Structure 1
Amino acid sequence: MQICLGRLCKRIFYVSFLQIRLIAVCIAQIPPPGIAPKPTPIIIPNVKGAIVLDGALNESQWQSAKVFSLNYITRPHENTAPPVTTEVRVFEDDRTLYIGFIAHDPNPQNIRAYYRDRDKIWSDDLVGLKLDTFNDSRLAYQFFSNPLGVQADSIQNEMTGRESDSWNGVWDAVGQITETGYQVEMAIPLRILNFREGTENKIWGAEFVRFYPRDERLRISNIPTNRNNACSLCQLGDVSGFKAASQGRNFAVIPTVVASKSRERELTESNQWNDFNNQEIGLDLTWGVTPEVSLQATLNPDFSQVESDIAQLSINNTNALFFGERRPFFLENIDYFSSNFNLVHTRNINAPDYGLKVTGRVDKHSLGLFMADDQTTTFLVPGNLGSDVAELSEKSNNLALRYRFDYSPTISFGVVSTARESDSYHNYVVALDTKYQITEQDTFRVQLVSSETQYPFGLSDKFSDEAQIRLSNKNAFRGNAFKLNYRHNQRDWSVRADHIRNSRDFRADLGFERAIDVTKTVVGGEYRWFNENSWWNRIAVFGDWDTTHSQAGELLEKEAEIHASIRARYQTYMEFTLQTRERVGLRQDSSRLQIENNTTLFQEDSASLYFDMRPSSALYFSFYGQYGDQIDFTNNRLGKQLNLRPRMNLSIGKHLQFNVRHTYRTLDVQGSKLFTANLTDARLTYQFNQRQFIRLIFLYSDIERNLDNYTVNTNDILSVERGLSTQLLYSYKLNPLTKLFIGYSDNSIQNDNVQARTVSEQSIFLKFSYAWLN
């Protein structure tokens, strides 16, 4: 393998281990703030004997379980008494944690429960728990089920303040709706959790939760929440037990079979089809090396997209589009690699032959490491007025390393390092980051990053304008970046301050950082009013001011915006925004990166409205509308833009769902239309049960341009671009690791050169994986 940690250290680790140690020592001298005492732990009894998961809770073991109630509405109200009662029963048997929920409801006919794919039930009635198995307020597992036993699980990361449902554990849930509400039984194998083994009782952080969505979506908990404490996981209660719990080997072998047949054609006079066949056998491996450390490996994987991404419009956009990761190998424990900058975005790795990942937590130390090759090398070419994507037809090796040390519940610091390397190209990155919870309301984060990059000779010839200049370095070059965040958040108000600096030669090619050669400062705040006895429950006014300059101090953008929002009955949210900003257009002389005397500063004023509502369990809709000034980036002038984005989700019975979202965008310049763009993403899904569905997807785009209103050469600009993509997908999931996909997809286009809509791509595919678990 061409990349190794030793070489990485030699080539780019400008920050020595002595410097890292010095930072750690300095941080260690800071006394942690006081932490409010937790309530008395819930003692979870150890009860032996197998039970049958059927949602009935009628086995004798449930009579020996610990019993308690959920007595607090923590959102949108503030620790008030709930209108419904919820009884929780919990016990463990050394190998499995069992939780039973008896959710009473005076009107069971109003229970919101649908058959959906895993992790797609967040608007339903739900019961579940958060579980912090290290009890250090850093990460928490979340397990939820709706009344039909459809599961959702995720990881909450206090370090980044985000939740990710990309994590999928193999656990069971069964539910049933009764005459008095509904009941759910959960069985969570302890082997899917990371925790410290030992012979003493273990104390884990935990919270048991019920979501009760009616006119309002009530979050009901077993513990109260302090809104003056910005740390969510710090407020979990404790559960005690699991004295003899062990994880075993937690070993899984998952062979994968992929077969596909596709054909493509260039829509020329011949319209000749080119056929492609693909039959592959791959292997995935998961191994719990220790109770705290796990290893995942993949050989000859098929990392093609099973399902289409949400469609996006790129017209009049100077930046590369962002698409989230959807592939299981990279999603597994991806939170271990997160930091202030987006330095690890695995979607950049397109077609690997192998992948290896190690993640784990031991005492106060967390580690994530992955390595993968790639048949091609794709990376962003960032700038301060836009970004582009470059692709090399060279095989590359890729590495990401993340280490974090939690000195105390309030202080953490870490290191992130990434590397990408091919025959004529490399990018190495190393970063230090720190989070300090100064008080319950105040949080400080800072990250320092350095990079070294070498582009291949001649790559810049494939680009124009800013990207060509950014790619024209003939020798290896170094850059740096800096990001500082401060947050003060308490019950009624909050303030934030951010300062970001990315130097001209900074690159993070395994991540997704579109802006370089910028220095940006943001200051903002919010004030909130709460109400528990009216048709509305929260009103907020918030806004911010930011300014962005180039590294040379030239103004790129200055913006101020103010928002007013309200949350009300029928799960309604509405937000109105006024925005004013000055920002520069395109460079007049594209051969120079200079901003002053080389760009025009435009004034953009706009207003926007967003609202969403769930008036019934079967219907959700949202709408975003914006009108105001917008730069015409093709012709470097100011126009008027109208942007409308309606969306609707409609459930027809328990099994059928229709989702549609549409984007309508127009730009008028000098009293005449420049373009009109429409984009529709429609999906019809029939969910047979918790495990299988069939889905039909339509993606339709229609762009019309008025070439008479263009001031540039229009020889390479199409006046009409229409496209239609369809996909039919059947999915069966025995569990997150054992699954079957069968699908068909095609794509057709129409434009100035193709007068009628014509199919240009077709494919059928099958993908099957089966997991042997031990």
Structure 2
Amino acid sequence: MLLTLIPCLFAGVLAASACTPSSLPSAGNRLPAKFQPAGGCCGITLVVPPAQNLIPHLAIAPKLGDFLLLPNHSAVAAQMLRVPHFIERYPDDGGRPDDATTAYLGYTHNAFYAAFVCKDPDPKDVRAHMVARDSLGNDDKVTLFLDTFGDHRRAFVFQSNADGIQADALYSEQNGYDYSFDTVWDTWGRRTPYGFVVLMRIPFVSLYFSKARPDQLRRWGIILERDVASNGESDFWPRSRHDVAGRLTQERIVEGFQDIGHGQNVQLEPYALARNLRQLNSVNPVNPYFEDKHLQGYAGLDAKFILHNSLVLDTTLNPDFSQVGVDNPAAPNQRFPAYFPEVRPFFIENSSYFQTPINLYYTDNIVRPQFGARLTGKAGPWALGLLGVDDRGPGEAVPPGNPQANTRALDYLARVDRDLGKLSDVGVIYADREYLGSFNRDGGVDYRARFRNRWTVTGQAMTSETSNLSNSTDGEQECESTSLDCSGQAYMQGISYSALHNSWWINYDDTAAGFVTDTGFFRRPDVRQAKGSYNYTFRPASGPVLSDDIDFYTERIWDHHGTPLDFYFNPSYNINFKRQTYFGLWANFGQDRLRPIDYSQLTGDVEYHSHVAGASFSTSPVPYLGFSASYSGGTVINYSPPSNDAPAPVDESQPSISVEIKALRAIDLQNSYSFTRFSTLNSGQTVYDNHQIVSRWNYQMTKAASLNLIGQYISTLPNEQYTDASNSQSLFADALFTYMPHPGTAFYFGYIGNFDNYDRSLCTRLPDGLCNSSDPILPTNSPTLMNDGKTIYVKMTYLLRF
């Protein structure tokens, strides 16, 4: 047998060597796997492995002008690693890009440089606007991924459009992009007669990476990407395949970065804020009052300590979140708690270190922290995440004089994860929320394993213990809140498959009646749940259609007594065209079983059926216009019936529309309107109407200076005969001028106003408890909307590095 294999191996080596270029002056001469011939016989196929790429050290830092003239660039550009052959990922996986891109890579002692020379057959098609940082939207852009630990799990992401407007993020295989990350780096961009050129300069002091000897080469993972807005094309180097699970799993490992400057060990970002404030304090509903504060000032500090250049200790004291933007409250008629994405930077940055399949990291539960600390990073194959933060929210939610006034909760989270090979890992997590002698503690193990590039298996086992000492009972009981002593377990097991045309996943979850998490996102205990999704994508080789796909999602839920509770089936069809045009059709079919323990008005189990169908459309045919619209209608369940009634089916109608206008390169106008109406099945009478209008205007005067205006109006107008939803109207206005020469150093001047239709019975109280008619808190002749919150503020931050 061995003698039979020898000639086969010899022939394979000859075939491989014959197909390998004799000289490799640039990374682009290495053909992607799709085009590499392989030699083989006797059932054996030999594949030529890609060679490592060396990033050269530069004596002189490159400038944008070094790359503007074609075909000959400067002597500095000639010294850099040239990457001429990007490979298309979308729409034609593995195809040759319509728009050629060449990248140049190199580094000096202080910084890494990446230049992108981007050609376009019609340069007028290049989309680039003077927009806010991290808001590149539908512009043409180039992207650099830097996996400085080479572990295929996390990476720094640096993006730029043709005008040099920046966006930066942290990317993880588990969570995707996190744009709350901001660091100091430089970009230069310019349109050219053949397209555009972008140069990035990324100081090593803005990165984290392992230490090495001065003469030792480091091995980092790199991905380069170009996105072409006009034809929906995405091109990569190295090739990024749809039939391989993950993005960083396909990165190219490069060598270099020898004797480079390490990041500074301490970064301080102090801020000072002065404001005039007027707001309604209704913590005590029987004695509300307006608070007026004139020229109130306070300060805070965010600090970052780099330990061994790979672990990051972030601390915050009196954090301010005045720039987080407009709130988006949940729509009415929610059976379970709604999920709100976190918008506060301290909690978002490096959040991937705490994420597990069963969510124990939902920081929206932390209302108003005063101090916090977070340690995250890598130490060899170990990933570490530690978090400790207080929450003044519970103590501020009760009136003064209440025994719980001015108290605070404490939240702790710890996670350790161990890499297993290139694509797998196993971890442990512990979470704890403590408040006035009560606690909720959760802990468990989780794992992820990837096989043959397409199969991924994930699992987690958790246990929780909850005690409220002031309301404890004898013995363990099934519980759904922290008002009882209880404990329980939760399990999750999932498997997924990814290929060029089809992908699918299946999950099974089991949550005991006593499982509770106060630090994570949690909807319901005592359920067993099986769910899955299947998607098939068609990828035409030519024509106006870039791709279309059909998707099926289904879910079945039981309780632990075996009673079937809910069932859902959701098919959809989506089609993508050029010019960023999309059209989709979808339907949702559901069956919900509600029990007396869910709604006390029910005398027995009742099964409800729902069916909704809808369509959505979006397009951006020209750079200065974007439009989207959707409509859905059908029968759903009214989960907010009058207090003495049980839930009932209602008809739903929900249109929405959104328009974005960029008539000038520096002005971005986004406006949207959505409407929801519930009506009775038989008579057609309105149950409630919900309106939401949002308008965002941004004027980007320079890269550093901008003026942002936000207006939002939300109203719910109920018919009390059919729902207990409250009549609410609110108007929010935000005006903000920002000057930010670089992240961490900024000047803000802003106004925040909030108007609500509060109950006119609110009043100040006399000692006998009656309303003080001479000092009503809300005069009956006041306008419909009262200004219950007004803030004018000035804020300054300054980044210090040591």
Does TM, scored on the shorter chain, surpass 0.5? yes
C-alpha distance in 1, partners of 2:327/2:233?
Answer: 29
| Ranges in structure 2 where 5+ consecutive residues have no aligned partner | 1-44, 397-403, 642-646, 761-779
Cα distance in 2 for partners of 1:70, 1:342 equals: 41
What is the aligned partner in structure 2 of residue 707 from structure 1? 720
Within the alignment, does 1:273 sit opposite 2:290 as a pair? yes
The worse-fitting range, judged by mean Cα deviation, of 667-676 and 306-315 is 306-315
| 1:287 equivalent in alignment to 2:300 | no
The alpha carbon displacement at 1:49 in A equals 3.2
Give me the whole-angstrom Cα distance separating, in 2, the residues matched to 1:756 and 1:459: 45
Q: Residues 62 and 271 from structure 1, CA distance in 2 versus in 1: closer, same or farther, beyond 3 angstroms?
A: same
Distance in 1, matches of 2:458 and 2:529, equals 16
1:725 aligned residue: 732
Change (3 A) 1:706 1:326: closer
Gaps of 5+ in 1: 1-33, 380-390, 461-467
Instruction: Show the 5 A alignment for 1:218-617.
Output: 218-265=233-280, 273-276=290-293, 278-302=296-320, 304-377=321-394, 394-455=407-468, 457=470, 470-471=480-481, 473-474=483-484, 476-585=485-594, 587=596, 590=599, 598-617=604-623
The corresponding residue for 2:90 is 75
Letter in 2 for 1:407: L
Say which of 671, 677, 698 aligns to 1:666: 677
TM-score (norm 2): 0.83
* Offset at residue 109 of structure 1 (A): 2.3
Give the equivalent residue in structure 2 for 1:385: none
Contact 2:466 2:482 in 1 (8 A): no
Partner AA of 1:368 in structure 2: G
- Are the equivalent residues in 2 in contact too, given 1:639–1:667 (CA < 8 A)? yes
Distance 1:162 1:341, change over 3 A: farther
Q: Specify which of 174, 191, 202 is matched with residue 177 of structure 1.
A: 191
Question: Given the alignment, which residue of 687, 691, 701 partners 1:678?
Answer: 691
1:125 counterpart = 2:140: yes
CA deviations on 1:313-366 (whole Å, 9 max, x unpaired) are 431123333332222322222221111122112232232232111111111110
What is the alpha-carbon root mean square deviation over aligned residues?
Answer: 2.9
Task: Give the 3 Å change call, closer, same or farther, for CA 609–378 of structure 1 in structure 2.
Answer: farther
| 1:22-69 per-position Cα deviation (integer Å, ceiling 9, x unaligned) | xxxxxxxxxxxx998752222111012345567866875333222221
Structure 1 segment 152-171 matched on structure 2, within 5 A: 152-158=167-173, 160=174, 162-171=176-185
Instruction: Answer yes or no: is the 8 Å Cα contact 1:311–1:681 preserved in 2.
Output: no
Q: Distance in 1 between matches of 2:85 and 2:706?
A: 34
**8 A contact 1:494–1:525 mirrored in 2:** yes
Instruction: Summarize deviations over 1:513-542 as a string: whole Å, max 9, x none.
Output: 223222110133122211021111212111
Secondary structure of the residue aligned to 1:607 is: strand
Please say if 1:627 is aligned against 2:633. yes
* Distance apart, 1:161 and its partner CA: 5.1
Distance apart, 1:606 and its partner CA:
1.5
- Please tell me whether the aligned partners of residues 349 and 377 of structure 1 are also in contact (alpha carbons under 8 angstroms): no
**Distance across 2 between alignment mates of 1:472 and 1:213:** 50
8 Å CA contact 1:536, 1:568 repeated in 2: yes
Note the C-alpha offset of 1:604. Answer: 0.7
Cα 1:745–1:458 shift into 2, 3 Å: farther
Deviates more, 1:753-762 or 1:422-431: 753-762
Query: Which is worse superposed, 582-591 or 418-427?
Result: 582-591
Are 2:215 and 1:210 aligned? no
- TM (norm. structure 1) is 0.86
Q: Contact 1:589/1:598 (CA < 8 Å) preserved in 2?
A: no
Cα gap change, 1:752/1:767 in structure 2, threshold over 3 Å: closer, same or farther? closer
Shift of 1:143: 1.0
Q: C-alpha distance in 2, partners of 1:228/1:340?
A: 23
1:101 paired to 2:107? no
Q: 1:688 to 1:507 in 2, by over 3 A?
A: same
Q: Distance in 1 between matches of 2:654 and 2:329?
A: 13
How far off is 1:459 after superposition?
A: 11
- Counterpart for residue 710 of structure 2: 697
Q: Which structure has the greater CA radius of gyration?
A: 2
Deviations 1:472-491 (A, max 9, x none): 744x3212211111101111
Which residue in the other structure is 1:734 paired with?
Answer: 741
The verdict on how the C-alpha distance between 1:543 and 1:393 changes in structure 2, with shifts beyond 3 A counting, is farther
The CA deviation at 1:442 is 0.7
Q: 1:189 to 1:227 in 2, by over 3 A?
A: same
Task: Say if 1:708 and 1:419 are closer, same or farther in 2 by CA, change over 3 A.
Answer: closer
Please give the alpha-carbon distance, in whole angstroms, between the structure 2 residues aligned to 1:640 and 1:35: 62
Q: CA deviation at 1:75?
A: 1.0
Amino acid at match of 1:154: A
Question: How far apart, in 1, do the equivalents of 2:454 and 2:190 lie?
Answer: 41
Cα contact 2:758–2:786 (8 A) shared by 1? no
> Measured at CA, do residues 375 and 530 of structure 1 come closer, stay the same or move farther in structure 2, by a change above 3 Å?
same
Percentage of matched positions with identical amino acids: 22
Alpha-carbon deviations, 1:196-244, whole Å to 9, x = none? 2223212222121111111x21112232233221132121122211121
Match of 2:29 in 1: none
C-alpha separation in 2, matches of 1:194 and 1:361: 9
Q: Is the 8 A contact 1:480 1:506 kept in 2?
A: yes
Q: Do 1:524 and 1:542's aligned partners in 2 also have CA atoms closer than 8 Å?
A: yes
Shift of 1:654: 0.7
Pairwise CA distance, 1:72: 1.6
What amino acid maps onto 1:764 in structure 2? I
Aligned residue pair count? 711
Q: Cα 1:300–1:703, aligned 2, differ >3 Å: closer, same or farther?
A: closer
Secondary structure at 1:109 match in 2: helix
- 2:794 aligned with 1:766, yes or no? yes
Per-residue CA deviations over 1:708-734 (Å, capped at 9, x if unaligned) read 445xxx6xx65x432211111112222
Would the alpha carbon gap of residues 100 and 505 (structure 1) be closer, same or farther in structure 2, given more than 3 Å must change?
Answer: same
- Secondary structure at 1:521 match in 2: strand
CA contact (8 A) 1:253 1:773 kept: yes
Q: Deviations over 1:139-181 (max 9, x none)?
A: 12211111111111222212x2522222222211111112222
